[in-house]
A and B are shown apart, each in its own frame.
Chain A
Amino acid sequence: MTQQLSSFEVGNTLLGVRVDYVQEIFRTGDIARVPLAPKHIAGLISLRGHILTVAHLGAWLGLPGAGPGRMTLVVQTRHGLLGLLVDEVGEVMDVSDEWADAPPEAITQTLRQAVQRVYRLPKSLLFQLEVDAMERQSESGSA
C-alpha cells in the first residue's frame, strides 16, 4: 500500500505529513508573538481574517539545525488548523509500506513519539509526522 506525503525539511531532517491533512502552504508572514505561550508556539498569523496559531516545528521536536521557519504548512488537527513553521517545502511523495520502518532509537524522545513511521528513501530517511500525537504529547507534558 502506498500513501502520499507532503514533504518538508526542518534543519537537516526530512519530514512528511499525509497530504490530505495539509490545508495550505505559504511563505511565513508576520507572526504576532504570544507571551507566556509554550516555547514551541511561535505566535499567531492572520490568515484571511482568521487567526492561526503557528508552532515552530524545530523547537517543538528538538530538531538540530532548524532555521527560523521560512515556510508555513497549515495542517488539520483534531482541534482545528495549526500552522507549522518549516524551513523548506518539498514535493508530494508517493511512499510505499515496504519502505517503512519503526522510528529508530537514535532520535530524540519527542521526535520518536511524534513520528508514526520512517520511510527509507534512496537518499535519506523521511519521518512521517502525526500531528495529533504531537499535540497529545505536549499536552501531557505540560499537564
Chain B
Amino acid sequence: MSAPTDDVVREFLAEASEALVLLESALVELETTSWDDARVASLFRGVHSIKGTAGFFGFERIVALTHVGEGVLARLREGTLKPTTEVADALLAFGDAVRVQLDALYSTGVETETDHGSVISALEALTASSLKPAATIRRPGVGGGPKSTRLPSRSTAPSRRSPSLAPSRKPAVARTAEPMTATAETSIRLDVALVDRLLNLAGEMVLARNRIVNLHAASREHATQAVTQELSRVTTELHELVMKVRLQPIHSLWNRLPRLIRDVARECKKKVRLTMSGEDTELDRALLDAMRDPLTHILRNSVDHGIETPEQRLAAGKSEQGTVALSAYQQGGFVFIRVEDNGKGLHPDKLRARAVEKGLLSAEEAQALDDRQAIALVFRPGFSTASAVTRISGRGVGMDVVKNNVERVGGVVDISSTAGVGTVVSIKLPLTLAIVPALVVKASGTLFAIPQASIVEVVHVSAEVPMEEFAGAAILRLRGELLPLAVLSRIMQPEVDGELGRSVVVIGTEGRRFGIVVQGIVDTEEIVVKPLSHELRALPIFAGAAVLGSGEIVLVLDVGTVAQSARVGLVARSTSLRAAGPIEAESSNSWLLVSGTGEDRLALPLSSIHRVDRIERSRLERAGSRTLVQYHGGLLQVVSLAEYCGRAEPEQVENEPLPVLVLDSKAGSTAFAVARILDVVRHVEPIGRQLSSSIIGGTAVLSGVITELVNVDELLRILEERSAA
C-alpha cells in the first residue's frame, strides 16, 4: 500500500512548498515594509507545521532545519529579535535549504545528504544572541560554510554533492532539476468557488450552444453552419476540460481508508484485509467530498458489524481474516463504488424483527416485506443493526444518513446481502453534479425529465407486456412480474380522465421497483437542473427544472415523490409470481379486492395471483361437470370463487366478459371466476382470529366495509382435493 503514502507525502511537499513561498515573499517584502504580528505568527505556524509533518514522516534533516528556523521566527514573534536584513538573509538561506530537501524528496523520495550545518548555525546564532546579530550571521555565509545553500541554486546544490553519493542514487539526483519546478509550478491551487463558477458558466454555454445548433439546423447557409459547428466543437471541448479540472482520482478519498480499517479492526479485535481496485477512477471533486462520510460509515459498518471475530470466522469455516473489498469503476456516465465484505451478512428476519421492535413497522408490515426490502430497512431513519451500540458504529448516524448523502448528490445507494456470506453496498453516482443525463418524457402535454440514474429500462405496453387496471390502480405484467405503476398524466392532472400512455419508464431504487406510465418518450438529454423558485417549493414532486437544447423548459421529476403520489412507494415491489409459493404469498401485503357474488367483498394476496383476465363467455366450454377455456394455448379449468368460498354462484351476465383470477398450484393453473374486480388495496390489517384451516382465513375492514380474506393455500388445497376426487 505504498501509493497512498506517496500521496500524503506529495501533499506535504505541496503544503511545505507553499509555506516556503510565503516565507520568501514576506522576507523580500521586509525590505520595503515592516511586519505585523499576525504575519510573523502565520509564518511561524507555517514552519512549525512543516516541522511537525516532517517529524511524522521521519525526515530528520527537515526537522533539524525547521526546528532552528522556527526558533528564529518565535523570537521575531516575541519581539526579542529585530527583523533586520541579516535575519532575513539567514531565513532565506534556511528556506532554500528546506527547499533542497523538499525537492530531493519529491524526486527521490529520500532526503539528500546536503550539509546544512552553516545554515543551522547561523540561525542558532540569531536565537542565541539576539541583540548583536550582524557579525555572527555574516561569518558562515562568507566564510567556510557552503555559500551555495544560501543561493537559490536548487539544482546545483544537490548535483555538487552528487559525487559523494552512492552510485545507485545518481539517476535520481540527475532528475532533480526538473521535478523541482514541478513542486511549485506545474500545479496551481484554485479557489473551489471559482472552479464551480467556471463550470456553471460552461454548463450555461453548452445550453446556449444547443439552442444555437437547433436554430441553425434548418439553415442552408454554409457560413452559418460552419460557424455553428466550430462553436459547437469548441464549446464541447471547453466544457469537458472544465469538468476535468474538477475531476479527481478516487484514491485521494480512499488513501486514508486503510488506516481507518486497521484502527477499527484493532478496536473490534478482528482481522481484516482491505483490497482496493479502480483507485484511478475519476470523480467530480464535490462528489468526492460528499462521499467521504458515507464511505467511512459503510466501511466502519463492514468491519464492526459485517466481519466476524477470528473465532467466529473459523467456526463458520471461513478464513480467520475477513476481507473488505473496495472497488470503483466508471460505466456510461456513472461512477459505481462498491464495498463488499465476506462477513456474516444481514439476516432479513432479524431486520424485520428489529423494525417492529423499533416501532418503525407493524408486525404485518414487516412480514409483508420481501427479503430484499427487509435488507433495505437499514436505510430507514432510526434503524441500527448492531444489537449493542459500539464506540465505532452506532453513533446515531445510520445508513439513512448514508442514503441521504448519496441521494443529495443525485446518486443511488443499494445494499444486498446473503446471510453468512457477506454484504455488498453499492453506490451509483453521476460523473458530475452539474450536468445530469435525463430522459425527457411527455405526459398531459407537458415535458418532464427523469434522471437516468434511477431508470432501469423503458418498456412499451403490448400484448406481451400488458397493462392492467383495477379501480384506479395500474399494474404492468413484465416478464412474469407485477410492476406497480404510477400514471404520470393522472398524477399531473388528477381531474382529467384521459389517455394513460403506452410507455413505461421502469424505476429501480433500493430494492423497490415501479413504473412511470408516460404518453411519450421524447429524447435523452443532458440537463442542468435548477431549483424551483420559492413559489413552487411546495411541490416536492419536482426536483427542479431545466432548459432543454430546444429552449423548452422541462420539469425534473423526483421519482420518490412520484411513487408516493401514486401510492406505490411503500409497498412497491417486484413481486415475482413465478417464485410465488405459499411463503411469498404471505409476505405480500398488497391485496386484490374482488366480489365473488356481486354482493360480498373478498381480498386475495396480490402476489398469489398469476394473472387477472377477462374471458368472453362464448369461449367457455362444458366438459362434464367442469367448465374449461382455451387459454394461451392450453386448457384452463374455470371455477367459481364464490362457490369455493361457500356461497351462491353469481348471476350470469351474458354480454360481459367473465372476470377471472388465474392462480397457479401444483396441479396447474386454474381460473377463478368472480363477479367483479374492485381494487388493489394495501396495508390490510386483519381483525380478530385468523384461521389457517379454512378458505376464508380472516376478515378485515377496508374502506369501512367488512372484507373477507381468502386463504389461498387452503383454497388451492381444496381445489386439488376436488380435482383428485
Contact = CB atoms under 8 A, between A and B. Distances in A.
A113 B545 CA distance: 31
A37 B538 CA distance: 8
Interface in B203-223: 204, 207-208
Nearest to A37: B536
Interface residues of B, number: 28
B535 interface: yes
B492 A35 contact: yes
A44 to B, nearest CB: 5
A60 to B, nearest CB: 10
Contacts of A52: 533
Interface string B183-216: 0000000000000000000001001100000000
B444 interface: yes
Interface in A85-140: 135
Given A34-B555, A36-B541, A46-B551, A79 B533 contact: yes
B599 interface: no
Contacts of B535: 37-38, 41, 53, 55, 79, 82, 135
A80 B493 contact: no
For B491, B534, B542, B546, the residue with the greatest tally of chain A CB atoms inside 10 Å of its CB is B534
Query: Secondary structure at chain B's binding surface: helix, strand, loop or mixed?
Result: mixed
B553 interface: yes
Q: How large is the interface on A (under 10, 10 to 19, 20 to 34, 35 or more residues)?
A: 20 to 34
A55 B533 CA distance: 12
B545 A49 contact: no
A142 B538 contact: yes
B492 A32 contact: no
Contacts of B491: 36
Given A35-B492, A49-B207, A41 B536 contact: yes
A33 B534 contact: no
A25 interface: no
Interface in B526-552: 530, 532-536, 538-539, 541-542, 545-547, 551-552
A7 B222 CA distance: 47
B446 interface: yes
A49 B555 contact: no
Given A32-B446, A34-B542, A142-B538, A49 B533 contact: no
Query: Secondary structure at chain A's binding surface: helix, strand, loop or mixed?
Result: strand
Contacts of B552: 30, 32, 46
Nearest to A81: B533
B533 A46 contact: no
Contact of A49 (B447, B493, B539, B547): B547
A38 B554 CA distance: 18
A34 B534 CA distance: 14
A37 B444 CA distance: 14
Contacts of A142: 538
Contacts of B545: 32, 44, 51
B444 A135 contact: no
Nearest to A53: B533
B541 A44 contact: no
Contact of B446 (A33, A46, A55): A33
Nearest to A43: B553
Nearest to B541: A36
B233 to A, nearest CB: 21
A46 B444 contact: no
A35 B493 contact: yes
B222 to A, nearest CB: 28
Nearest to A138: B535
B657 to A, nearest CB: 35
For B446, B447, B535, B538, the residue with the greatest tally of chain A CB atoms inside 10 Å of its CB is B535
Contacts of B555: 32, 34-35, 44
A44 B446 contact: no
Contact of A51 (B444, B493, B530, B539): B530
Contact of A135 (B447, B534, B538, B551): B534
B547 A53 contact: no
A36 B539 contact: yes
Contacts of B547: 46, 49, 51
Contacts of A46: 547, 551-553
A34 B533 contact: no
Contacts of B533: 51-53, 79-82
Interface string B478-502: 0000000000000111000000000
20 contacts: A32-B447, A32-B553, A32-B555, A33-B445, A35-B444, A35-B555, A36-B491, A36-B541, A44-B545, A45-B553, A46-B553, A49-B204, A49-B547, A51-B545, A51-B547, A51-B553, A53-B535, A79-B534, A80-B534, A82-B535
Interface of B: 204, 207-208, 444-447, 491-493, 530, 532-536, 538-539, 541-542, 545-547, 551-555
Q: Which 10 A/B pairs are nearest by Cβ-Cβ distance?
A: A79-B534, A35-B492, A32-B553, A53-B533, A44-B553, A46-B547, A51-B545, A53-B535, A49-B204, A51-B530
Interface of A: 30, 32-38, 41, 43-46, 49-53, 55, 77, 79-82, 135, 142
